[in-house]
Structure 1
Amino acid sequence: MRNVSVVAGRVAAAGGLLLLTALLPWLTRTDPALTVLHARYGDAPTTPRQLAEVRDQLGLGEGPFTFLGQWVRGLVHGDLGASWVTGADVGADVGAAFGVSLSLMAYAMVVAVALAVALCLPTLRRGTTRTRPPSGAAAGVLATLPEFLLASVLATLFAVRLGWFPAQGWQSPASAVLPALALGIPAGAVLGRLAQDALPAAFAEPWVRTWRASGMPRARIARHAARRALPAVLPQAGFTVVGLTGAAAAVEAVFAIPGLGGTAVAAALDLDLPLLQGCLIVLLALGVAAAVTVGLLRRWLLGPALKAGALPGLARTPGGGRARLHAACALAAVLLAVIVWGLTRDALHVDLAARLAPPTAAHPFGTDALGRDVLARLGHGALRTLAVAAAVCAACFVVGVALGLARWTKGLTEVANAMPAILAGLLVTGVFGAGMTGAAVAVAAVGWAPLAAHTAALAETERGSGHVEAALVHGAGRWHILRHHVLTGVLPQVARHATLRLAPTTLALASLSFLGLGTQPPAPEWGRLLMENLPYAERAPWSVLAPALALACVGACLALASAPQGRGERRDQPRRNRARRPTGPVTASPR
């Protein structure tokens, strides 16, 4: 019965997304015929006769539902239609783009997994020796690196200056090295940080103490602890697969890679509905395939203990020690001082004679392409950037937890993850109009999905634990178990995951602003500072270094302040006995 509800949810959510796509021209209140003509012929003047001919050719006069019905009938027969802009077969274009993106995703996942393993090695080593694990600051900083900025730096250094790799195109495996690094490093940092959160809970389980006391090799303990923690991270790996395939438009643009992400974004901007729907149907199929694969792997790793209620409860992992909190406070104080310093300066003053000037006494952080002071724009954009991004992350956290606890929302989560942010921006701004509110709602509309998947994975493990079974035997009600048993194990890890989304949320808001869907210029914003000055990064690196370092500083502060301790508490052990430890030798041998 549960599988039927999941399949029904997937079908309903996918149908709703395709319906919204068909309604895109009407929701955005734009003339699709005019947009298609501009996409075909640029800024050439158009006549009413040309617009009428395009409307008749595309069948726009019959309404969105007729168009959607015709598209579905074609899909049943394997025909995705023809592009409104180029007239080419959509199936061929989408197939070619998907092949490129799938190869790029595979390379990027290799980088992400390798980085995640490298970040977890200190945690595994210290977990076997019962010492405090690392703070996760390195993962927090790497997770804040913008993919498009990382791609530009890698292309400039290793392709243009050193000539080690191709700067553009997709001709050989060497062409995939730099884009795979740009995509895989931030993704691997997120996966590594989530694994660092899950490992202390695994090392706090009773079998670890038994194995240590019996002299079991540390490598074997670490290997089994990693296997125990892996089910909590696998859903994010599945979501990362879809994200690296469909949301890599910025990196594809830097390296001129004809991938699915850039194709979907271009189709959305040109209102090329057949091509956009073809991209979405492929992304949805990939999302479902990734979700099914992840589900099978989780069942294999957890085994029958998930249904038998024999899993240990998730360990409590409170915040880090005083030294980490002091380091976080020090970084926050430095960042606050820089922001206050910038607030005392004029962020809108334009001095064309001082364009891209290096740091001086007059401009400590240099100037941008219009001669505006970077320090001033950094300070004035801090409140807008951090406040809006924090509000979006908080909303995504609440929605993600609420929908992640409901098992029927699995299909909706997969569809939301497959939806490009630019498409959400176009749909939302059609209702709210261009501005920060519309951009925030658009990012939140798709940003809750990874948190919901993480919540669902942790809640499933917690519901299969022994202390929940004991509570049910003693007559505990559903809400009591949810409040006192499930949420106490789920919320800390999901909250730390939400903090990792602060920098990507900032950049997503900036991307929509850069396309004219969010904050309008000349209002300062950190993400917009990055995107506006990116073309001048080689000539004036200070123009992008300041906002990038500010985002990295925020990521490090959050990672240090929310770092888990090395040892947790058993959730299934009575509170009065938690301080007790066995004093005599343990003779039981592990099985």
Structure 2
Amino acid sequence: MSRTSRARISRPGLTALWRSVLAGGLLCAIGLLPWLSRTDPALTVLKARSADRDPTPEALAAVRDQLGLGAGPLRLLGQWLGDLAHGDAGHSWISGSAVLPSVVQALGVSLLLMGVAMVAALATAAPVCARTLRRGAAGRPAGPRAGGVAAMLASLPEFLTASVLATVVGVQLGWLPALGWYGPQWLVLPALALGVPAGALLGRLLDDSLPGAFAEPWALAASARGLPGRRIVRQALRRCFPGLLPNLGLFVVGLTGGSVAVEQIFDIPGLGRLTLQAAIAQDLPVLQAGTLALLLLAAVAGGATRGVARLLLGPVLRDGALTSPHRAGPPARSVLPFVYGVPLLGVVAAGLFRDPLALDTAARLRPPSWAHPFGTDALGRDVLARVGHGALTTLAVAVAVSAAALLIGVLLGLVPRVSGAAVDTVNAVPPVLAGLLVAGVAGSGPYTPALAVAAVAWAPLAAHAAALLTQERATTHLSATRALGAGPLHLLRYELLPAVVPPVTRHALLRLPAVALALASLGFLGLGAQPPSPEWGLLLAENLPYAERAPWAVLAPAAVLALLGALAVSAAGGIRIRIRIRGRGRWPARRPEPSAPARGTAAPRSAG
């Protein structure tokens, strides 16, 4: 057997070993969380079981003996892993009940909610890219045009969407039930709260890649020959889906384990809520079992998306029969960044001249007026002032974290054999749980949310970069350049990076509002800045209880966040690949559509 054959055989084994090491490391970190946090697990369990009981040394010693904490964390972790090999996940430290049945039941609830949310996401993604599909079917490809609407939908925080749906649709209008988990009707509102933002982001990513597919030679030839537009659209979608499938797999895991806020608002007994409650209560067996379930789900979703991507592209990845769909035209010239950016800067500038901490109990929950353009909150503080001052910290940290996530995502995306397992493992950890882990190791502080979000924010960007890299390596122009003697560094600098970095950068800008909200949400949980800090997420969370009585206190920061999302997406439209003509650094003239294709011209095998 040749050396190449042995290397090919060993690669799957090395990948499986790498995935196992990462999953084991995460499980060990979860298992050691009570000790890493420098708190006494016995004290936490005693308070959870009986809040009125005094934590005397005798009572704490009894809890330690009952839970086996005297043996030490490593021995306790080893015993849990040994019992798990025999199908026993242990018993809850709080309730004493078996862990496995409760985790399986919570996983079933979350999977059902995730399935319905994915249907809502696909239904939302369809109209986002509908205009581009219509123009492509008519043979008139155009750049993506769904930036503003999609950005505003994608930037809506899930807990805000869930609260509005529960309050307006569920309570005031009474169209659908708002609380509980008793039947299909109780699925609709939480599925919409999860699916609409995810669908808007997914549709925007698809809308960003479709123009390149419609501009490929096979699409131009098919249009010139008069093939039905539906067939061209179907093949263009098939061409673009492989690059989005890794992120679709991330959405599956994120909607299952990261829907903590939605499950809390609608009182849904799902896995995300169960895992978060176990982490806060330091209920180690439930926390470990819930995290293991998320890891298994991430592994299954990642493997399924990779298999579907290979199935859609067929043998073209092997034969190098693709053309790159990521070589777009010149940067889009649009006034939309100014349309969204000027009001945003105006709001921030106006708020900076006001005091965000001034209390006026006589002006509590006042509606918007000349004195308070955005109204006041429950303590009589000016909402405009808090929005303006909150932008300084929220936006600065969010931009820094997004830039770090982009850099890490691109670098790891260039080595997919290393990053694939890491993406699946990291994506199984909701940001809240990551915040608890970081706080346990580094302690709570102003930089804890940034570290926690940066630790997980790179995963979707790395998955996107790896998917684009796989397709770019199979293109005909790359094979030709390699045959002409180009080395790896030349291919990386002039071929691979120009095709990967701009789409991933636009993706990072799409996620900027979500990063800003995740930072503030972790701060609200006590892992970072504390009230009365005017962070945007804190403003939303503090004013949600008064949404029905004073909706302006919630709508104002939500509208500013939506403006940020629209600005990020419209600015992303200007990030395009600069194709240099030899000897002249300018954009090439637009190639006219062929009046008649050359004989023998056909679509690539990826286009059916």
Which of 431, 445, 458 does residue 441 from structure 2 map onto? 431
Distance 1:306 1:447 in 2: 29
- Alignment partners' CA distance in 1, 2:189 and 2:515: 23
Summarize the alignment of residues 116-515 of structure 1 with structure 2, pairs less than 5 Å apart. 116-128=125-137, 129-133=139-143, 134-317=145-328, 321-322=332-333, 324=334, 326-406=335-415, 407-515=417-525
Q: Once the 2 structures are TM-superposed, how far is the Cα of residue 29 of structure 1 from its aligned partner?
A: 1.1
User: Are the counterparts in 2 of residues 82 and 88 from structure 1 also a CA contact under 8 Å?
Assistant: yes
Q: CA deviation at 1:2?
A: 2.9
Greater mean alpha carbon deviation, residues 422-431 or residues 504-513: 422-431
Q: CA deviation at 1:508?
A: 1.3
Aligned sequence identity (%): 54
Q: What is the distance in 1 between the residues matched to 2:336 and 2:52?
A: 54
TM-fit CA distance, 1:551: 0.7
SS in 1 for 2:78: helix
Shift of 1:186: 0.6
Aligned-partner Cα distance in 2 for 1:294–1:570 = 35
Compute the displacement of 1:569 (Å). 7.7
What residue number does 1:26 align with? 35
Please give the alpha-carbon distance, in whole angstroms, between the structure 1 residues aligned to 2:498 and 2:332: 20
> Distance in 1 between the 2:105 and 2:515 partners?
30
- Matched to 2:557, the amino acid is P
Letter in 2 for 1:206: P
Cα 1:358/1:458, change in 2 over 3 Å: same
- Show the counterpart of 2:559: 549
Stretch deviating more after TM superposition (202-211 or 41-50):
41-50
Relative to structure 2, which stretch is displaced further, 104-113 or 17-26? 17-26
Deviations 1:235-275 (A, max 9, x none): 11111000000010100011000000000110111111110
Q: Report the 3-state secondary structure (helix = DSSP H, G, I; strand = E; otherwise coil) of the residue aligned with 2:527.
A: coil
Do the aligned partners of 1:109 and 1:184 also contact (CA within 8 Å) in 2?
yes
Alignment correspondent of 1:539: 549
Contact 2:141 2:211 in 1 (8 A): no
CA distance in 2, matches of 1:212, 1:181: 37
Q: 1:583 to 1:79 in 2, by over 3 A?
A: closer
Shift of residue 580, structure 1, vs aligned partner: 5.1
Shift of 1:565: 9.7
**Residue pair 2:544, 2:554 contacting (<8 A) in 1 also:** yes
Higher relative contact order (CA 8 A, sep 6+): 1
> Which residue of the partner structure matches residue 11 of structure 1?
20
Aligned twin of 1:115: 124
Aligned residue type for 1:105: M
Q: What residue in structure 1 maps to residue 7 of structure 2?
A: none
| TM-score normalised by length of structure 1 | 0.95
CA contact (8 A) 1:202 1:229 kept: yes
Task: Tell me whether 1:99 sits opposite 2:108 in the alignment.
Answer: yes
Q: 2:330–2:587: 8 Å Cα contact kept in structure 1? A: no
How big is the shift at 1:583? 6.0
Aligned CA distance change for structure 1 residues 196 and 346 (closer, same or farther; 3 Å): same
SS in structure 2 at match of 1:139: helix
Paired residues of 2:329 and 2:577 also in contact (CA < 8 A): no
How many residues are matched?
587
Deviation at 1:453, TM superposition (A): 0.6
Code of the residue aligned with 1:247 in structure 2: it is G
Moved >6 Å (runs of 4+): 564-571, 574-578
Secondary structure of 1:380's counterpart equals helix
Query: Are the structure 2 counterparts of residues 118 and 558 from structure 1 closer, same or farther at C-alpha, using a change threshold of 3 Å?
Result: same
- Deviating more after overlay: 162-171 vs 97-106: 162-171
1:378-410 deviation per Cα after TM superposition (whole angstroms, max 9, x unaligned) = 111111011101111111111111111112221
Q: Which residue of 1 aligns with 2:84?
A: 75
Q: Deviations over 1:305-329 (max 9, x none)?
A: 101111112332356533x2x2211
Deviation at 1:584, TM superposition (A): 5.3
CA distance in structure 1 between the partners assigned to 2:60 and 2:575 by the alignment: 64
Match of 1:49 among 58, 70, 75: 58
Name the SS of the counterpart of 2:129 in structure 1: helix
Rounded to whole Å, the distance in 2 between the matches of 1:528 and 1:583 is: 56
Give the TM-score of the pair, scaled to structure 2: 0.93
Q: Distance in 1 between matches of 2:290 and 2:593?
A: 59
1:477-513 deviations in Å (ceiling 9; x for gaps)? 2222112111111111100111111121122112211
The residue type paired with residue 443 of structure 1 is V
Give the direction of change, closer, same or farther, for the CA distance of 1:305–1:53 in structure 2 (3 Å limit): same
Q: Distance in 2 between matches of 1:564 and 1:472?
A: 30
1:319/1:563 contact within 8 Å kept: no
Per the TM alignment, residue 425 of structure 1 is displaced from its structure 2 partner at its CA by 1.1
Name the SS of the counterpart of 1:321 in structure 2. Answer: coil
Q: Amino acid of the residue matched to residue 154 of structure 1? A: L
- Aligned CA distance change for structure 1 residues 60 and 583 (closer, same or farther; 3 Å): closer
| RMSD, matched Cα | 2.1
Query: How has the CA–CA distance of structure 1 residues 79 and 570 changed in structure 2, closer, same or farther, with 3 Å as cutoff?
Result: farther
User: CA, structure 1 residues 373+69, in 2 after alignment: closer, same or farther (shift >3 Å)?
Assistant: same
Give SS of 2:526's match.
Answer: coil
Task: Supply the distance in 1 between the matched residues of 2:331 and 2:265 (Cα, whole angstroms).
Answer: 39
Give a deviation string over 1:27-55, Cα, whole Å, max 9, x none. 11111111112222235432221111111
Counterpart AA for 1:239: L
What amino acid is aligned across from residue 275 of structure 1 in structure 2? Answer: V
Do the aligned residues in 2 keep the contact of 1:135 with 1:320 (CA within 8 Å)? no
Matched residue, 2:527: 517
The separation in 2 between residues aligned to 1:583 and 1:441, in whole angstroms, is: 52
How many Å apart are 1:200 and its aligned residue?
Answer: 1.3
User: Is the CA contact (8 Å cut-off) linking 1:533 and 1:544 kept in structure 2?
Assistant: yes
| CA contact 1:318–1:565 (8 Å) conserved in 2 | no
* Kept after mapping to 1: 8 A contact 2:90/2:100: yes
Compare 1-10 and 445-454 and name the one that shifted more: 1-10
Once residues 510 and 350 of structure 2 are traced to their aligned partners in structure 1, the CA distance between those partners, rounded to angstroms, is 27
Deviates more, 1:13-22 or 1:419-428: 419-428
* Partner SS for 1:42: coil
Report if the CA contact (8 A) 1:135-1:559 is conserved.
no
What is the DSSP-based 3-state SS (H/G/I as helix, E as strand, rest coil) of the residue aligned with 1:472?
Answer: helix
Offset of residue 590 of structure 1:
4.2
Distance 1:296 1:174 in 2: 34
SS of 1:83's partner is coil
Residues 582/553 of structure 1: CA separation in 2 closer, same or farther (3 Å cut): closer
